[in-house]
Copies of this chain bind each other. A is one copy, B any other.
């Protein structure tokens, strides 16, 4: 969405605010408003580069760097020791993609078109992988909760690393599936690819600059989380599970909703579910591995996060099973999201 570009003005504003050390909530707000358009610019430059790189490598780049903003924010949060915020933001990204983005897409699209159709087979692969991924994430958590905490030390870290390794392996294999062995499943949608607006050289330059700026803004943003929660009496969970994902994904989300409005439900759903899958299978294990550099972060989510994840994924699978959507399905998804958000807000 072009309109988000105007928010780029918040890059200098947030940096000046940080430098002048004004009130933390304002810095929180300004840096958040700066990250939103930067994530959009980053996504666009990745797409341009993918175009030049050809189908396979391009697909790989798009899939892997599609959630780079979340990865960068989470990295700085992890470096600041805010493990709970990191995990809440992972869970929140998945929940937000499935409930809020899919819900808004189905609602907005469904208000214009009575019934919208999507390619059930492709969505089925993604939805069913999501089920596997969430189950894989849940098992070590249950194991951890069932066992006396004193037993959980080094072995426990080993389990997190192993699960992270398996997740990443499945992620790589899923790309072998979609770019090599079963690529015909995915061939349909690339009909109308326009020529890219930037040259490859410019796109790479834009990507580098955007990445650096997101890094800087993320560090500023993360630094305000703790003072912010104190001032407004919000829990870190709420910030992690609701606010961070909305900020990191706003650009991508507006694209999904726009696609649904244009009756391109396949693209809208693939953005929502595919992005969720990347976060679990790619962003999460990369963060686990990076955490080994300073202080190891476990892959164990809390009960609430896990149940919200399981429910979201069950809903996604339920929706994928009939290949159709309407506005009432959208409303229901958003309703579940509001109930979850309200629970965390009240917490």
Contacts and interface: CB of A to CB of B under 8 A. Distances in A.
Contact of A343 (B140, B174, B322, B332): B140
A335 interface: yes
Contacts of A147: 347
A30 interface: no
Interface stretch (A67-75, A245-253, A323-331): A323-331
Given A128-B318, A303-B146, A318-B128, A139 B331 contact: no
A342 B159 contact: yes
Interface stretch (A15-23, A198-206, A306-314): A306-314
A303 B138 CA distance: 13
A142 B307 CA distance: 8
Interface stretch (A37-45, A79-87, A129-137, A282-290): A129-137
A277 to B, nearest CB: 12
B181 A346 contact: no
A318 B173 CA distance: 20
Interface string A273-305: 000000000000000000000000000001110
Nearest to A135: B311
A182 interface: yes
Nearest to A111: B181
Contact of A136 (B303, B326, B336): B336
A46 B327 CA distance: 30
A143 B128 CA distance: 27
Interface of A is mostly: helix
A173 B159 CA distance: 43
B302 A146 contact: yes
Residue from the set A156, A308, A318, A333 with the largest chain B CB neighbour count within 10 Å: A318
B174 A328 contact: yes
A339 interface: yes
Interface stretch (A6-14, A162-170, A209-217, A222-230): A162-170
A338 interface: yes
Nearest to A155: B346
A332 B336 CA distance: 28
A155 B238 CA distance: 15
A132 B166 contact: no
A131 B332 CA distance: 10
A135 B304 contact: no
A343 B128 CA distance: 23
A159 B315 contact: no
A139 B336 contact: yes
A343 B300 CA distance: 12
Nearest to A154: B346
10 contacts: A125-B328, A142-B307, A146-B302, A156-B346, A159-B342, A162-B339, A170-B335, A177-B326, A177-B328, A182-B326
Given A135-B314, A143-B343, A170-B335, 10 more contacts: A135-B311, A136-B339, A139-B340, A142-B304, A155-B346, A159-B342, A163-B342, A170-B332, A173-B328, A177-B326
